[in-house]
Structure 1
Amino acid sequence: MAKAPEESRKTPPISTEFVVPQFTPNDYSKFFLAGALCCTVTHGGMTPIDVVKTRIQIDPALARKSLLAGGRYIVANEGPAALLTGFGPTAVGYLVQGGAKFAGYEFWKKQFCQIAGDQEAAVKYRTAIYLGASSVAEFFADILLTPLEATRIRLVSQRHYATGLVTGFTRLAREEGLRGLYAGFLPILCKQIPYAIGQFTVNEFCHELAFRNMSEETRRTLSPSATFGINLGSGVIAGFAAAILSQPADTLLSQINKGHGPEGSMVHRLTVLARQAGFRGLFAGLGPRMVMTAGLVAGQFLLYGGIKDALGAPPGLEIHKEVAKV
């Protein structure tokens, strides 16, 4: 019997494994500092608006007033300095939260790209990578934010509760312990994770859309004004998305701060309040919040990019489809 011819061996496929940037601890420290500064500046600048908004939510005397009328009422009765109540916890809270969120997003996006294993898979599953990286980064950032946000709410809602950040934080920790400091953790997660998803994911896809028909040469030679316009437009649209996605939880958090809802676990209270509000109720006041959030998110991205450049930080990891390179 004739010997069967030996099967020709197939040439092994060329590996498509890609090399991702190996960010150093120094790089992450720059990402953290840029994120910290951009968030503390933008949120700190919003302190007067936050004060009026919180007081409208909890003070019956202000319940039916607009932001402008509420601000005038507070200034007339308590002086202009009252509009800066809670500035310390806001500035410090979003300093640590912003640093952890932006640096965390860069870190987890890189980790998930490595898990994908190759360039094609990373591009194919980029939406899942954006969603996962923004969610995980925000979760850990909110661990840092929640105690300071609890302190801010106490300072704004209870006059004479404390003289500032340190005294307010220590009093809350002493009287209510860890439970009091983290009582609002679940509502904050429900609000901040959808917010971060809209902020980062939509911003990524806006940049992808803007760059889709550009050559590499065009991208490299973009003028500063064109780059600014793309970053501003992407940030504004991402801000709209962040506001829409987080609006239901923001509405419920306002109701919780007012003391509304039944007794019981936080999950039970949020569920009952959501049913009572209905779809339209959950999205009440969305328009003004979209405008405010668009300015906040766009400002953060513009500042983040500018501070990163000033610090000499490397560019973040890109997995846009039109670039097809990470």
Structure 2
Amino acid sequence: MRAPDFWHRDNAVAAALAPLGAVYAWAVARNLERAEEYRPAIPVICVGNIVAGGAGKTPVVIALARRLLAAGRKPHLLTRGYGGSEVGPRAVDLDRHDFVRVGDEALLLAAEAPTWVARWRPDGAVAAVEMGADLIIMDDGFQNGSIAKDLSLVVVDGAYGFGNGRPIPAGPCREPPERGLARADAVVLVGEDRTGVAARSEAAGVPVLRARLVPGPEGAELMGRKLVAFAGIGRPEKFFETLKSCGARLVTTTAFPDHYAYERAEIEDLLAEAEANEALAITTAKDRVRLPADLRQRVAVLPVALDWEQPHLLTPLLDRIGVKA
């Protein structure tokens, strides 16, 4: 599913859907209020968001995992496994599992640290503790009350912000922004703040951690290259802008829905288009795991990583939950 334009810019359609958005927001609040939280024996960090998709949660989770691993901690990552069939709890095995089974994000996470897929998150937490985790990082789940969180980080894309600020389906928000900010310990603001997120967060008493997504060293090789770019992520335009920032020449750009399961013929058409234009077909790391296995080597990937503007600002937040890193 692609987000409708009115999710970003308010209009009459959004206003007409506002009553349904109010019902959605009420249901989220009610579920949180009535949830019976399971509290694991180890700290839980939740990396979530207020809008649906595209904020950059997974790169934040990976950045946190790398920091904690470097400090000698044993973090396990916990995800619902969106888009996959696995109910779990299941430890992700990169040699055995594919995106159809565990979802695309779980495969990216498992390349960094032990990762669990569990539709019922408490089961995943129990399994992680039994297998030696000393800390859990949840990818998503900010609006899920089944498991107690010791530290909640809300990730917000600086260019998109909270969209039109309305709850689904009138807007992109899983709950009213102020309600979500009231539960957050910090906001991770990714990219340039074009929507006033920092001021809004600070007015709510929530500290802001600024960060940006930076291309990997592969980006330097794209200067002047002609590219046929495609992506099926929350906001494909962010990927295309990153390619331009590397000095690439975009012959065509094709946006697919988030978590899209590519058909073989679609990738073959993109490869043929690239060949006809003497260009390179390129996509994201998240998309790569959803390509037909025998075509992956023919499609280039530009990985990105999270770069904290002031990484030391994380320290007091981690200290609060007894985590030295």
Q: What TM-score comes out, normalization by structure 1 length?
A: 0.26
Q: Which structure has the highest helix share of the two?
A: 1
Between structure 1 and structure 2, the one with the greater Rg is 1
